[in-house]
Amino acid sequence: MPITEILERNARLYGQEKCLTEINMDLQEKHNVTWMEYELIENSPLGEYRRDMTWRVFDEKANRLANLLIKRGIKKGDKVAILLMNCLEWLPIYFGILKAGAIAVPLNFRYSAEEIRYCLDLSDASALIFGPEFIGRIEIIYNQIPKVKALFYAGENRPTFAESYDRLTANCSSEAPQIEITDDDNAAIYFSSGTTGFPKAILHSHSSLMSACYTEQAHHGQTREDNFLCIPPLYHTGAKMHWFGSLLAGSKAVLLRGVKPEWILKTVSEEKITIVWLLVPWAQDLLDAIERGDVKLEDYELSQWRLMHIGAQPVPPSLIHRWKKYFPDHQYDTNYGLSESIGPGCVHLGIENIHKVGAIGVPGYNWEVKIVDEKGKPVPQGEVGELVVKGPGVMKCYYNDPEATAAVLKDGWLFTGDMAKMDEDGFIYLVDRKKDVIISGGENIYPVQIEDFLREHDAIKDVAVIGLPDSRLGEITAAIIELKPGVQCTENEIREFCLQLPRYKRPRKIIFDDVPRNPTGKIEKPKLREKYGAAKLVAVQTQS
């Protein structure tokens, strides 16, 4: 069953019920009034700050866009790119593209103009729908993207080189177009995070999207009573595929624009949120704010909040131990996945396995997992090998890149590039990215293990461990350490702390600096290697 049929079912069954709410907390703070006061003010800016949508309107908006695309000559299998910040229009646009039989191509909102041009060309996009934040970038390239035949602008103050999405769709039918869609039809192209170079185009089918719905609901048990807080960017598989559990259940979701701890708690409290998916930096910021006294939990109604889960990057066990100190009644889950495996869920900890915090978990619903050596043979229990997964959410291919596809897809198994090991109970522990493994003096060193250890230090907010060239050992380990705001710490203090590690795991270089992360929370290690790899390293002693 194509995923568009789930939306149509919800529109029939729950048409008048609210399904999506967009909240822009920054606007609310600028006006300095409460949410209830907005509703009492005549001609209030509530429409800017908070917007709601019902299932019926959601479906109708998707239908209007689908009919517009068809009218403009977009055929089944054509690609339509989306370049929007999280907003109420995002998901109806995504589903409108699918209803037209076209392939949705979400773009990273942090892409430069050149990266946008590259991805549009790589995906063979025929149309682009973009928002006001991207006018400048699209203006630079709009005459350099000959494959893109239509530019639709969603927002006010339309640029002259684009057409109005709002005006054009308003004049299109709200009835579903008669386009036959099958499970095997191509549905979406997602781009790899690009932490190891230019992104690859990842092609998924409709059955792959549906598998994400079933896996997500099986793991987190969404019901009609749940309300999901979605903060991560919708262009990424993670955020959207977690929301797919809400779609399948016919339950509500809130799109929060902003990640301040007080904004998250306020939204959870006032919207009666039950499920929150966080990235590691946001969870750390929230805990830091609690411990500094910047937010007080007793000021919020949080009793209905039942589940917090984290994915997109390795989760330090110390973080979850801290979390349970302040939220002892929360269910917790770790989710592991890749865009190539339709995002989260091919491995997950499971809410019943909190005692195994530190593991990424066990095979997800409908998934198989192996850990293999360089020849693809399973390694003995407890030994490190490459994690490979197989299931209904594995990508079809890297679009127009058969060589890259063949390197990671073998007999239906997806080779993830992640190094892992399995314990005696069958729980999988992520060791590191295969490309991030440091080989120093012939010894394999896995940075994630050192990073998890260093995060136990009270002064450290974030850390990245990378390999740097060394004429004698080949590589040496360097720890880039971001201290908590206002905290001082010396190199000697870090080195003394590291005496608990085996000698070969102790960082040879200590560097105090910010740790860059991409929008999905992954550490951008290529940037750090570029910054420090060729330069003479001078460790800064303190940071404030």
pLDDT in tens, 85-144: 999 999 999 999 999 999 999 998 888 898 899 999 999 999 999 999 999 999 999 999
Q: Kindly state whether residue 22 falls inside one of the protein's structural domains.
A: yes
pLDDT tens digits, residue range 326-336?
999 999 999 98
- What's residue 542's pLDDT? 33
CA atoms within 13 A on the CB side of 302: 17
Strand order in the sheet with 275-278: 50-54, 18-24, 252-257, 227-230, 275-278, 307-311, 331-338, 343-348, 362-363
Residues 509 and 398 in one domain: no
User: What average pLDDT score do residues 243-258 get?
Assistant: 95
pLDDT in tens, 356-380: 988 999 999 999 999 999 899 999 9
Do 140 and 176 fall within a single domain? yes
Q: Quote the CA–CA distance of 426 and 49 in Å, as a whole number.
A: 47
- Residues 73, 201: one domain? yes
Q: Say how far apart CA 208 and CA 341 lie, in whole Å.
A: 9
Is pLDDT of 196 > 60?
no
pLDDT category of residue 472 using cuts at 50, 70 and 90: low
**Per-residue pLDDT tens digits for 500-509:** 887 878 999 9
Asked whether residue 293 is domain-assigned, the answer is no
pLDDT of residue 491: 93
Range of the domain at 191: 4-258
Q: Are residues 16 and 121 located together in one domain of the fold?
A: yes
Average pLDDT over residues 203-226: 96
Partners of 80 in beta bridges: 104, 127
Q: In a 10 Å sphere around its CB, with 0-12 CB exposed, 13-18 middle and 19+ buried, how is residue 473 labelled?
A: middle
Residues 143 and 167 in one domain: yes
Q: Supply the pLDDT for residue 314.
A: 67
Query: Does residue 334 lie within any of the structural domains?
Result: yes
Banded pLDDT at 511 (limits 50, 70, 90)? very high
Last residue of a domain, one of 377, 400, 434: 434
In a domain, 91, yes or no: yes
Please report the pLDDT score of residue 37 as a whole number: 40
The total number of structural domains in the chain stands at 3
In this predicted structure, what is the pLDDT of residue 442? Answer: 58
Kindly state whether residues 194 and 74 are assigned to the same domain. Answer: yes
pLDDT band of residue 48 (cuts 50, 70, 90) is low
Cα–Cα distance list, 147 to 79, 87, 142 (Å): 10, 27, 10
Between the alpha carbon of residue 247 and those of residues 30, 128, 222, 252, 332, the distances in Å are: 33, 25, 9, 8, 21
Task: For residues 232-249, give the mean pLDDT.
Answer: 91
Model pTM score: 0.82
Same domain, yes or no: 384 and 528: no
Positive or negative torsion for Cα 398, 402, 403, 407:
positive
Q: What are the respective helix, strand and coil percentages of the chain, to the nearest 5? A: 35, 25, 35
End-to-end CA distance of the chain: 55
Do 360 and 252 have their domain in common? Answer: no
pLDDT for the residue 35: 39
Within a domain: 491:
yes
Last residue of a domain, one of 258, 279, 297: 258
Q: For residue 274, is it within any domain?
A: no
At 479, is the secondary structure helix, strand, or coil? strand
Q: Quickly state the pLDDT bin for 316 (edges 50, 70, 90).
A: confident
Model confidence at 193, in pLDDT bands (50, 70, 90)? low
In this predicted structure, what is the pLDDT of residue 195?
43
Instruction: Identify the pLDDT of residue 45.
Output: 39
Mean pLDDT score of the chain, rounded to an integer? 88
Question: At 407, is the secondary structure helix, strand, or coil?
Answer: helix
445 shares a domain with 429:
no
Region 305-311: mean pLDDT is: 91
- Are residues 428 and 506 both part of a single domain? no
Residues 416 and 454 in one domain: no
Tell me, what amino acid is at 142? Answer: Y
* Integer CA distances (angstroms), 153 to 135, 164, 220, 437, in order: 9, 5, 36, 44
| Chosen domain end from 258, 279, 294 | 258
What residues have CB less than 8 Å from 376, skipping those under 6 apart?
A: 388, 410
Query: Is residue 155 predicted with pLDDT exceeding 80?
Result: yes
For residue 405, pLDDT beyond 70: yes
* Bigger pLDDT: 100 vs 537: 100
DSSP 425: T
CA 29 to chain centre: 26
Q: What is the pLDDT of residue 432?
A: 67
Question: Are 466 and 368 within one domain?
Answer: no
Three-state SS at 534 = coil
Mean pLDDT to the nearest integer, 249-274: 95
Is 375 among the domain residues? yes
Within-domain flag for 298:
no
> Residue 77: what are its φ and ψ, rounded to 5°?
95, -10
Q: What is the CATH number of the domain that holds 496?
A: 3.30.300.30
Length of the chain as a residue count? 544
CA neighbours within 13 Å on the CB side: how many for 455? 24
Nearest-CA neighbor of 110 among 229, 201, 194?
A: 194
CATH number of the domain enclosing 83: 3.40.50.12780
Question: Is pLDDT of 34 > 70?
Answer: no
Q: Decide if pLDDT at 510 tops 70.
A: yes
Judged by DSSP in three states, 390 sits in: strand
Q: Which residue has the higher pLDDT, 539 or 499?
A: 499
Span 412-444, pLDDT tens digits: 999 998 889 999 999 999 886 667 778 776 567
